[in-house]
């Protein structure tokens, strides 16, 4: 075997804290062969991004320091290199692409100019323009000549990531580091970008270090995988054996937690998590939520003298009903109007059409008249940290809905908050702490406790597990299922993740461009999708099984 | 937070303790000026000037020296603390209150009402402060309260601008949406979830503003619209004496040092308050 392009040997990194150095990465070693794709997989805080920043020597100097180890690029140690020499390596021999292509491109510079700048910085000025155009062509962007003159905000997320890849590959780097390159993208776009990266790797002869939390992406891309946990590599193996016969317990748990599309095939509902018999809904009970012909129009910019630009229709003609104890999944890509629908049924955005909450029409109700209805329906947001007031203790946050609706005395509310904390699997002692002292999963439990405080019949869950690590995600979903079984809650479950939808829902509505394109029972929609778009969405979901990797094909954005 | 632990937290910070001591000294001076001052502040003493009629440097008889009219500087500083403290706290506090109110309302309401409030703020920003002061002073009898009023009218605009932008970004945050989803009314959202987030800003502006307001008062007094002589204020002592800076530097140095020390003390205490009142800082390194 030839010498590795990049070798990381015993890399340890310390964080500077007031209490002295704390190890955040210990004894990380791996080697990257020419033309190989190595995936660093792990959950948040496992140290995978720190490793990549250390290779680029981009660690924030004030807080992190390389304590030991070497990073060899074709035998040359990068740790001791001068800043000047390192700048030539960055973008030259090693290039990097990031998660969020919008923030990594300069918003006030044309795409073409940014590419030309990157090419000139490393390869001189000759025919940079022509080469920039050739790079855009290479990443299969449509109409490359026109893209050269456009600004980043004029491109879609997928196109921006293609530009980032073009920029990274423009200097023919030996190593490309991709840090969660598709996490911010829709699933169909993600599939296109992954295909593109596989193809370009061959064309450019680049080795790739792919950092991801998504085992589905790992299965599609990796030749070899290094599984990281808490600053260590727990297991390194070729992709196929890692997925079929993982050696370490952590790898096994990680793989077990990955939702697999099709896992619930042949069933009508989500898995049972309690042994309690389900309460039967008496026939003739009105649905918890009934929506007919819902439309939401976002107002255009309004001029000073009443001139109104045409509004943008975010949701158009959406109808569905939701019964007690059932879950309706709204699935779709970004911009499909699924979140707006969720907000509209709670009366949080102005809408047209009919929304019956527990049989009562909420259209045109004053905030005061709306208030008693709010007790019936609550919401759980995507980012639990953002949806908790950082200046309010957790106990006060959970008691907040009770205080708003003037229920019970302060002591009653405290008791109720303690009881709710226990209900969602936290300790009542946690009531006096603040949101920043909890982990992501715990925060989402707190949000669930807060939503339960008013004993609602409906909970709108807007991407409620999207921000959580897979292992935590499974536990939060189980908690939601358990609450549904014991309390008879109805969920309007909004998600872009087909696998999560499959696990949680009884019924599914697929949204695109503000409309429902396909609706039905989850079993019908997932097993015999009627619409091409639904089939496309399902086909784009990465399958966590490297043996079923799709054949290379050329995709055009 | 319990008052006891709050006080302990404050006392654990040496800079905050130093600031508190200075503020306490100024407050004591202001309250007990007649008891503390060795002479009357407007007493033009016969032996307060040299034979050539020049002010006297600090000595055992006049601890901080005398001014150009033969008055004891220490006594004038002690009495001047009353004016300066009043201006610094009342005028500045009023300015912060008005600014917060206008900014938060504009940011929360948005739409036409918000735009109208902010355009009014812009109008006030563009209005020359001194012109406003002269107009008000011409309409009303010049007094300390007029000075406080004028300063409050001039200084609230910056606070309003900052409170407005912060409120706008807070209103967009998910936890405010969560409050609305729970059925909270505007009073609860504003009072319990937006205002507490503006406290650090208000404290920083409040304390930073003290030095500038004390100086603005001096400017107004200098123009004859503010505190009327012979009533002393730290600002007008500096202004009265600035032309003697070379021959009698103590006349500018001591009141200047008093202004500086007071402003710094308020800043230090303000910083400590901001940290202690912010629960998100607790439990962090």
Asked if pLDDT for residue A145 goes beyond 70, the answer is: yes
Q: Using the beta-carbon criterion (under 8 Å), do A391 and B184 form an inter-chain contact?
A: no
A199: burial class by Cβ within 10 Å (0-12, 13-18, 19+)? middle
C-alpha–C-alpha distance, residues A326 and A268, integer Å? 11
**Whether the predicted pLDDT of A280 surpasses 70:** no
Residue A556 scores a pLDDT above 50: no
- Report yes or no: B177 at the A interface, CB cutoff 8 Å: yes
Interface-testing mutation among B202, B279, B280, B283, with chain A (most A C-beta atoms within 10 A): B279
- Range list of H helices, A310-351: 338-345
pLDDT tops 50 at residue B285: no
pLDDT at A557 over 50: no
Distance CA B24, CA B14 (A): 15
Inter-residue contact A16 to A62 (CB < 8 Å): yes
The fraction of chain A above a pLDDT of 90, given in percent, is 26
Which residues pair with residue A330 across a beta bridge? A494, A509
Q: Which of B108, B183, B202, B278 to mutate to test the interface with A (most CBs of A within 10 A)?
A: B183
CB contact (8 A) between residue B183 and residue A374: yes
CB A517 within 8 A of CB A494: no
Dihedral sign computed on CA atoms, order B153, B154, B157, B158: negative
- The predicted structure's pLDDT at residue B2: 58
Closest chain B CA to residue A452 = B182
Q: Which of A350, A371, A391 to mutate to test the interface with B (most CBs of B within 10 A)?
A: A391
CATH of domain A311-364+458-543: 3.40.50.300
DSSP H/E element including A12: strand A6-17
- Kindly indicate the confidence band of residue A515, based on its pLDDT and cuts at 50, 70 and 90: very high
Do residue B283 and residue A437 have CB atoms under 8 angstroms apart? yes
B111 close to A (CB below 8 A): no
Decide if pLDDT at A491 tops 90: yes
- Residue whose tokens read 């304390």: B207
The per-residue pLDDT for A550 is: 60
- What is the 3 state secondary structure string of chain B? CCHHHHHHHHHCCHHHHHHHHHHHHHHHHHHCHHHHCCCCCCCCCHHHECCCCCECCCCCCCCCCECCCCCEHHHHHHHHHHHHHHHHHHHHHHHHHHHHHHHHHHHHHCHHHHHHHHHHHHHHHHCCHHHHHHHHHHHCCCCHHHHHHHHHHHHHHHHHHHHHHHHHHHHCCHHHHHHHHHCCCHHHHHHHHHHHHHHHHHHHHHHHHHHHHHHHHHHHHHCCCCCCCCCCCHHHHHHHHHHHCCCCCHHHHHHHHHHHHHHHHHHHHHHHHHHHHCHHHCCCC
Find chain A residues with C-beta within 8 A of B181's C-beta: 346, 348, 374, 378-379
- Are A381 and B193 a contacting pair at CB < 8 A? no
pLDDT digits (tens, 9 = 90+) for B248-262: 888 888 888 888 888
Strand partners for A237: A225
SS3 A24: strand
Answer with the residue of higher pLDDT: A299 or A28.
A28
Q: How far is B176 from chain A (nearest CA, A)?
A: 7
Helices (H) and strands (E) in chain A, counts: 20, 20
- Per-residue pLDDT, averaged over B226-235, amounts to 79
The reply to whether residue A434 touches residue B183, judged by beta carbons under 8 angstroms, is no
Tokens representing A338 are: 């699924």
B15, B9 Cβ separation under 8 angstroms: no
The encoded tokens of residue B253 equal: 């140095």
Cβ distance of A390 and B279 shorter than 8 Å = yes
B149-208 pLDDT per residue, tens: 888 888 889 899 999 999 998 888 888 888 888 888 888 899 888 998 898 888 888 887
Structure tokens at A486: 């014991």
- Tens of pLDDT, residue by residue over B33-72, are 888 888 888 878 777 777 777 788 888 888 888 887 888 8
Q: Do A391 and B278 touch (CB under 8 A)?
A: yes
Least confident of A42-46, A503-507, B51-55, B119-123: B51-55
Chain A hits for B5, Cβ within 8 Å: none
pLDDT at B284: 43
Chosen from A15, A305, A404, A447 to mutate, greatest number of chain B CBs within 10 A = A404
The DSSP 8-state label assigned to residue A243 in this structure reads H
Domain map (residue ranges) of chain B: 13-31+70-279
Closest chain A residue to the Cα of B279, Cα to Cα? A391
Q: What is the CATH number of domain B13-31+70-279?
A: 1.10.3720.10
CB contact B60 to A (< 8 Å): no
Average pLDDT, chain B: 83
- Say if B278 is an interface residue toward chain A (CB within 8 Å): yes
Three-state DSSP string of B43-59: CCCHHHECCCCCECCCC
Higher pLDDT, B2 or B247: B247
**Least confident among A23-32, A480-489, A500-509, B260-269:** B260-269
Question: Tell me: the pLDDT tens digits for A153-200?
Answer: 888 888 888 888 888 888 888 999 998 888 878 888 888 888 888 888
SS3 A126: coil
Q: Are A463 and A496 in contact (CB under 8 A)?
A: yes
Q: CA dihedral defined by A98, A102, A108, A111, rounded to 10 degrees?
A: 70
B192 in Cβ contact with B255 (< 8 Å): no
Closest chain A CA to residue B281:
A436
Determine whether the interchain pair A17/B197 forms a contact, defined as Cβ–Cβ distance below 8 Å.
no
Can you point out the beta strands (E) in A218-345? 224-229, 232-238, 289-298, 312-322, 327-331
CB burial class (10 A; 0-12, 13-18, 19+) of residue A299? exposed
Task: Provide the pLDDT for residue B120.
Answer: 92
Geometric angle at alpha carbon A339, from A335 and A342, rounded to 5°: 150
Pick from B41, B34, B24: which is nearest to B233 by CA?
B41
Q: Are the beta carbons of A8 and A69 closer than 8 angstroms? A: yes
Residues of B in contact with A387 (CB under 8 A): 174-175, 177-178
Chain A residues touching B188 at Cβ < 8 A: 404
Q: Is the pLDDT of residue A279 over 70?
A: no
Taking alpha carbons only, the member of A75, A76, A97 closest to residue A210 is A97
For A453, which residue in chain B has the nearest alpha carbon? Answer: B182
Task: Kindly identify which residue of chain B lies nearest to residue A344, measuring between CA atoms.
Answer: B181
Reported confidence tier of residue B283, pLDDT bands at 50, 70, 90: very low
* Contact residues, chain A, for B185 at CB < 8 Å: 367, 371, 404
Interface test with B, best of A389, A458, A492 (most B CBs within 10 A): A389
Higher pLDDT pick, B31 / A310: B31
**Percent of chain A beyond pLDDT 70?**
94
ipTM: 0.72
Quick one: pLDDT at residue A176? Answer: 92
Distance (Å) from the alpha carbon of B10 to chain A's nearest alpha carbon? 19
Q: What residues of B are in contact with residue A392 (Cβ under 8 Å)?
A: 192-193, 279
B189: which chain A residues are within 8 Å (Cβ-Cβ)? none
Average pLDDT over residues A118-144: 84
Residues of B in contact with A374 (CB under 8 A): 181-183
Which residue in B150, B159, B152 sits closest to B103, CA to CA?
B159
Of the partner residues A371, A391, A405, the one whose CB lies closest to the CB of residue B197:
A391
What letters, b where the CB count within 10 A reaches 16 and e where it falls short, cover A41-53? Answer: bbbebbbbbbbbb
| Per-residue confidence band for A2, with pLDDT thresholds at 50, 70 and 90 | low
- Average of per-residue pLDDT across B124-142: 79
Please give the Cα distance from A401 to A398 (Å, whole number): 7
Residues of A with CB under 8 A from a CB of B: 17-19, 343, 346, 348, 367, 370-371, 374-375, 378-379, 381-383, 386-393, 400-401, 404-405, 434, 436-437, 447, 450, 454
Whole-number pLDDT of residue B89: 84
Inter-chain CB pairs, A–B, below 8 Å: 73
Is pLDDT above 90 for A446? yes
Chain B partners within 8 Å of A346 (Cβ): 181
At residue A308, φ and ψ (nearest 5 deg) are -115, 130
Tell me if A387 and B193 make a contact (CB, 8 A cut-off): no
- pLDDT of A116 over the 50 cut: yes
Distance (Å) from the alpha carbon of A371 to chain B's nearest alpha carbon: 5
Q: Which residues pair with A294 in a beta bridge?
A: A318
Q: What angle do CA A241, A244, A250 make, to 5 degrees?
A: 90
Strand (E) or helix (H) holding A208? strand A207-212
Hey, where are the domains in chain A?
6-257, 311-364+458-543, 378-455
Cβ burial of A124 (10 Å; 0-12, 13-18, 19+) is: exposed
| Span B14-36, average pLDDT | 89
A391:B188 CB<8 A: no
Q: Across the interface, do B196 and A381 touch by the CB < 8 Å criterion? A: no
Q: How confident is the model at residue A300 (pLDDT cuts 50, 70, 90)?
A: low
Architecture in CATH for domain A6-257: 3-Layer(aba) Sandwich (3.40)
Q: Taking residues B114-136, what's their average pLDDT?
A: 85
Average pLDDT rounded to a whole number, residues A52-64:
85
Enter the tokens of residue B166. 């912060």
| Largest Cα–Cα separation, chain A | 78
SS3 A499: helix
pLDDT in the model for residue A12: 92
Q: How far is CA A507 from CA A268, A342, A526, in A?
A: 9, 16, 10
Asked if the C-beta of B175 comes within 8 angstroms of chain A's C-beta atoms, the answer is: yes
Share of chain B above pLDDT 90, in %: 14
């Amino acid at each position: 075997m030839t010498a590795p392009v990049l070798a990381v040997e015993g890399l340890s990194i310390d964080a500077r804290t007031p209490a002295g150095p704390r190890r955040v990465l210990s004894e990380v070693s791996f080697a990257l062969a020419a033309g190989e794709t190595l995936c660093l997989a792990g959950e948040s805080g496992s140290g995978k991004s720190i490793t990549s920043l250390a290779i680029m020597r981009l660690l924030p100097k004030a807080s992190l320091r390389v304590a030991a180890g070497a990073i060899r690029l074709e035998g040359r140690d990068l740790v001791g290199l001068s800043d000047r020499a390192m700048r030539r390596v960055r973008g030259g021999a090693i290039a990097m692409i990031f998660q969020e292509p919008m923030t990594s491109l300069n918003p006030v510079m044309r795409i073409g100019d940014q590419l030309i700048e990157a090419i000139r910085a490393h390869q001189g000025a000759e025919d940079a323009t022509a080469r920039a155009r050739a790079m855009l062509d290479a990443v299969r962007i449509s109409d490359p000549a026109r893209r050269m003159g456009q600004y980043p905000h004029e491109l879609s997320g997928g196109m921006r990531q293609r530009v980032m890849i073009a920029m990274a590959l423009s200097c023919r780097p030996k190593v490309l580091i991709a840090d969660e390159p598709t996490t911010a993208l829709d699933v169909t776009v993600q599939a296109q970008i992954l295909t593109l990266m596989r193809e370009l790797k061959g064309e450019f002869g680049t080795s790739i270090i792919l950092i991801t939390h998504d085992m589905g992406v790992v299965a599609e891309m990796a030749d070899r995988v290094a599984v990281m946990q808490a600053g260590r590599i727990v297991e390194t193996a070729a992709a196929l054996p890692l997925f079929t016969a993982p050696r370490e317990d952590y790898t096994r748990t990680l793989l077990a937690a990955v939702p697999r599309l099709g896992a619930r095939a042949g069933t009508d509902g989500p898995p049972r998590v309690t042994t309690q018999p389900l309460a039967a809904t008496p026939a003739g009970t009105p649905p918890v939520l009934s929506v007919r012909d819902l439309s939401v129009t976002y107002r255009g910019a309004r001029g000073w003298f009443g001139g109104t630009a045409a509004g943008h229709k975010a949701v158009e003609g959406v109808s569905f009903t939701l019964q007690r104890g059932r879950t309706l999944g709204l699935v779709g890509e970004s911009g499909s109007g699924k979140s707006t629908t969720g907000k509209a049924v709670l009366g949080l955005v102005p809408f047209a059409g009919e929304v019956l909450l527990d049989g009562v029409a909420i259209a045109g109700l004053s905030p005061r008249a709306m208030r008693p209805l709010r007790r019936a329906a609550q919401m759980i947001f995507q980012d639990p940290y953002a949806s908790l007031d950082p200046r309010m203790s957790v106990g006060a946050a959970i008691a907040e809905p009770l205080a708003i609706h003037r229920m019970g005395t302060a002591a009653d509310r405290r008791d109720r908050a303690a009881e709710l904390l226990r209900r969602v699997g936290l300790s009542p002692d946690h009531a006096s702490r603040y949101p920043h002292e909890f982990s992501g999963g715990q925060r989402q439990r707190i949000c669930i406790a807060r939503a339960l405080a008013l004993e609602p019949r409906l909970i709108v869950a807007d991407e409620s597990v999207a921000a959580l690590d897979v292992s935590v995600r499974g536990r939060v979903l189980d908690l939601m299922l358990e609450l549904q079984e014991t309390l008879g809650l109805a969920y309007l479950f909004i998600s872009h993740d087909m696998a999560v939808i499959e696990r949680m829902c009884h019924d599914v509505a697929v949204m695109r461009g503000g409309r429902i394109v396909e609706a039905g029972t989850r079993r019908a929609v997932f097993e015999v999708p009627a619409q091409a778009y639904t089939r496309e969405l399902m086909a784009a979901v990465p399958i966590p099984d490297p043996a079923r990797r799709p054949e290379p094909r050329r995709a055009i954005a | 937070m319990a008052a006891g632990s709050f006080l302990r937290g404050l006392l654990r910070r040496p800079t905050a303790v130093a600031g508190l001591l200075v503020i306490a000294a100024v407050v004591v001076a202001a309250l007990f000026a007649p008891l503390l001052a060795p002479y009357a502040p407007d007493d033009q003493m016969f032996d307060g000037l040299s034979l050539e009629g020049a002010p006297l440097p600090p000595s055992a008889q006049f601890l901080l020296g005398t001014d150009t009219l033969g008055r004891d500087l220490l006594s004038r500083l002690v009495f001047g603390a009353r004016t300066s403290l009043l201006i610094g706290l009342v005028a500045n506090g009023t300015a912060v209150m008005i600014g917060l109110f206008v900014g938060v309302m504009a940011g929360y309401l948005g739409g036409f009402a918000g735009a109208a409030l902010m355009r009014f703020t812009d109008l006030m920003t563009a209005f020359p402060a001194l012109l406003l002061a002269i107009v008000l002073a011409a309409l009303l009898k010049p007094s300390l309260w007029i000075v406080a009023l004028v300063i409050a009218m001039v200084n609230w605009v910056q606070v309003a601008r900052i409170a407005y932008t912060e409120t706008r970004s807070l209103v967009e945050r998910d936890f405010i949406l969560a409050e609305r989803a729970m059925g909270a009314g505007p009073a609860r959202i504003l009072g319990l979830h937006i205002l507490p987030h503006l406290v650090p800003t208000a404290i920083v502006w409040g304390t930073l503003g003290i030095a500038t307001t004390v100086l603005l008062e001096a400017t107004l007094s200098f123009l004859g619209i503010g505190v009327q002589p012979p009533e002393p204020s730290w600002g007008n002592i500096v202004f009265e004496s600035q032309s003697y800076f070379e021959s009698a530097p103590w006349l500018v140095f001591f009141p200047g040092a008093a202004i500086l020390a007071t402003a710094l003390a308020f800043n230090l205490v303000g910083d400590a308050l901001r940290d202690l009142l912010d629960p998100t800082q607790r439990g962090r390194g």
